[in-house]
Chains A and B, each alone.
Chain A
Amino acid sequence: MINILSSILILAGVFFYLAGSIGLLRLPDLYSRLHALTKADNLGLGLLIAGVALQSQDLLIMLKLLLVWLSVLAASATSAHLIARQARRQETGS
């Protein structure tokens, strides 16, 4: 039961990663690419981590995995912001 649930979560996570990567390749400009990449990948990683956490069945490992997810969320949100701001600055010409 747990195996099936965790497989579904991991597959869903992989799906979002795939969507994010396709978005990165197909979308027209930097902002929409960033949007696809950070949003889809953050959700994908969350699902992936939920799936892996179910497999571990150890509270300490689950907490560590949660910390990994939160760190990646914060780091990717910040780097997306920094990249977008830099691009905006270059566009408006400074």
Chain B
Amino acid sequence: MLTTQILYALAGCVLLALGVRGALLHASVLLRIVAINIMGAGVFLLLIAVAYRGPGLAADPVPHALVLTGIVVAVSATALALALARRLQVERDDG
């Protein structure tokens, strides 16, 4: 158990909770998408903190691989969400 691990993991929890709150409370779709991305950042922070093994020691590569794919999935999900948001706007403007 390392202080560094705990500190960064705590920050990850805070980011996750802030992101959930923002995603639930914001009225704007774009702001909600930003909030969901911040939720994701919190999860990544948690995972990378857990992977840390201390200075001079190699970190656990499995969570690193997970986060790496997670970042790419997050950006493609964001793109899909933005496309949906734009389509919603078009439908609203037409209707």
Establish whether A and B are touching in the complex (CB under 8 Å). Answer: no
B interface residues, Cβ below 8 angstroms from A:
none
